[in-house]
Amino acid sequence: MNFKLIYISPNGTTEKTTQILKNVIEKDGHTVELINLGAGKNREDFGQILEIIDEADIVGFGAPAYHMDMLEPMKRFFQAMQTAGRVYQFGAFLYLNYGGITSGKAFSNTALLFASMDIPLIGAMKVMAPHFHHLDSFPTQTTEAFIQEFYEALQAKDFALILNDRLKALFSPRKKRVNLIYPLVHIIGKKRELPITIKPDICKNCGKCVKECPVAAISIKCVATIDLEKCIHCYHCSVICKLGAVEVPVEKLDKMIQLNKCIIGMENPPNEIYR
Ligand SMILES: Cc1cc2nc3c(=O)[nH]c(=O)nc-3n(C[C@H](O)[C@H](O)[C@H](O)COP(=O)(O)O)c2cc1C
C-alpha cells in the first residue's frame, strides 16, 4: 500500500515519531512518503500536497498538541482540505506528540471534521514527549516500542475504519477536568504565550530561522525580525539558533507548564492508542 505521512514538528519530536512510523511501515512492505508541512514551499502552498494525497491508500497526520489542540499549520491544512471540496479516497490516522498534560480536543475536533469530509479514520495515538528545552531524551526505547505497537494495532484490524457513531466517545478527553475547563485553559494559554525576541547584537543574519520558521514569520530587516501577528509561538527558531540570538523566557514557560500540571494533572497512561 501507499502511505503518506503529513506532519509538522517545530521542535523535532513529532518528526522523530514520524521517522519511526516510516521505518515500521516500510518494514511491513509498504511505501511511505513524508511531507513536512513546516518546510520550504509547503509552508505556504498546500495545493501540491492535496494532489499528492490523492495517490495515497492511507494518510497519517502528525502534529504536536499546542494549547490542547493540533498545532496551527496542521489545522490550516485541514481547512485547505475542506475548502478544496475534493472527494478523498484514503483512510486516515492521527498521531499527536504532547507534553503529557492533555491533548485536549485535538482528536475529537479532527475526527468530527474528517467525518464531515467523509474521510474514514482508522485510528490515532498520542505519544508523550519532552518540551523543546529538554529534547535529548526522546525517544526512549519504550516510546519506540509503543509507536510500533500502534502500527501493529492498525494492521491487526486490516486498517479498518472506526464507525462514525463511536468517534465521539472514543476521542472525548480522558479527564473530565479537561472537558470542564477546556475553554478557559485554552483562552488563558493563548493569552499567556510567551514573547520571543531576537537580540540584534547577537544575530549574524545567517537566515536559518527565516528559512525554517514553519509559518514564515521571520524576515531579515538589518537583522532577523519576527512578525508577531504570524508567530505561532512554537519556539522552533530558539531551538535552531546556535548563536543564542533568539531569546525565550524558558523559566516562565516552565512555571506555566507546572501550573498546567497542577490544574489539569498528567495523563495516565501517557501513551495511548485509540482504535
Ligand atoms: C506553546 C506550547 C503549548 C503546548 N501545549 C500543550 C498542551 O496543551 N498539552 C500538552 O500536553 N503539551 C503541550 N505542549 C507540549 C508539546 O506538545 C510537546 O513539547 C511536543 O512534543 C512538541 O512537539 P514537536 O517536538 O514535534 O514540536 C505545548 C508546548 C508549547 C511550546
Beta-carbon neighbour count of residue 72 at 10 Å? 17
User: Kind of pairing, strands 31-36 and 58-66?
Assistant: unpaired
Report how far ligand 1's centroid is from the alpha carbon of 87 (Å): 32
Residue with the three cell numbers 511491513: 28
Of 133, 251, 247, which Cα lies nearest the Cα of 200? 247
For 82-113, write each residue's pLDDT tens digit. 999 899 999 999 999 999 999 989 999 999 99
| Domains of the chain, each with CATH number or no CATH | 2-174 (3.40.50.360), 195-248 (3.30.70.20)
User: What SS3 state is found at 233?
Assistant: coil
Q: Say if ligand 1 is within 6 A of residue 18 CB.
A: no
For 114-147, write each residue's pLDDT tens digit. 999 999 999 999 999 988 767 778 999 999 999 9
Residue nearest to atom 15 of ligand 1 (CA): 99
DSSP bridge partners of 225: 219
pLDDT over 90, % of the chain: 73
Q: Please provide the distance, in angstroms rounded to a whole number, between the alpha carbons at the two ends of the chain.
A: 20
For 151-190, write each residue's pLDDT tens digit. 999 999 999 999 999 998 999 888 777 777 777 777 777 7
Most confident region among 142-151, 197-206, 256-265 by mean pLDDT: 142-151
Per-residue model confidence (pLDDT) at position 256: 82
Res. 191: pLDDT tops 80: no
Nearest ligand 1 atom, CA 129? 21
Q: Say if ligand 1 is within 6 A of residue 65 CB.
A: yes
Report how far ligand 1's centroid is from the alpha carbon of 96 (Å): 9
Residue nearest to atom 5 of ligand 1 (CA): 66
Report how far ligand 1's centroid is from the alpha carbon of 170 (Å): 22
d(CA 217, CA 196): 12
Q: Say if ligand 1 is within 6 A of residue 16 CB.
A: no
Least confident of 60-69, 232-241, 249-258: 249-258
Round the average pLDDT of the chain to a whole number and report it.
92
Q: Say if ligand 1 is within 6 A of residue 66 CB.
A: yes
d(CA 181, CA 163): 28
d(CA 217, CA 211): 10
Nearest ligand 1 atom, CA 69? 8
Report how far ligand 1's centroid is from the alpha carbon of 142 (Å): 20
Report how far ligand 1's centroid is from the alpha carbon of 137 (Å): 15
Of 105, 40, 25, which Cα lies nearest the Cα of 73? 40
Q: What is the DSSP letter of 12?
A: S
6 or 45, which is more confident: 6
CB contact set of 151 (below 8 Å; sequence gap of 6+): 21, 24, 25, 28
Backbone phi, psi, residue 118, to 5°: 60, 35
d(CA 115, CA 76): 17
- The CA–CA distances, whole Å, from 74 to 4, 130, 196, 273 equal 15, 20, 22, 20
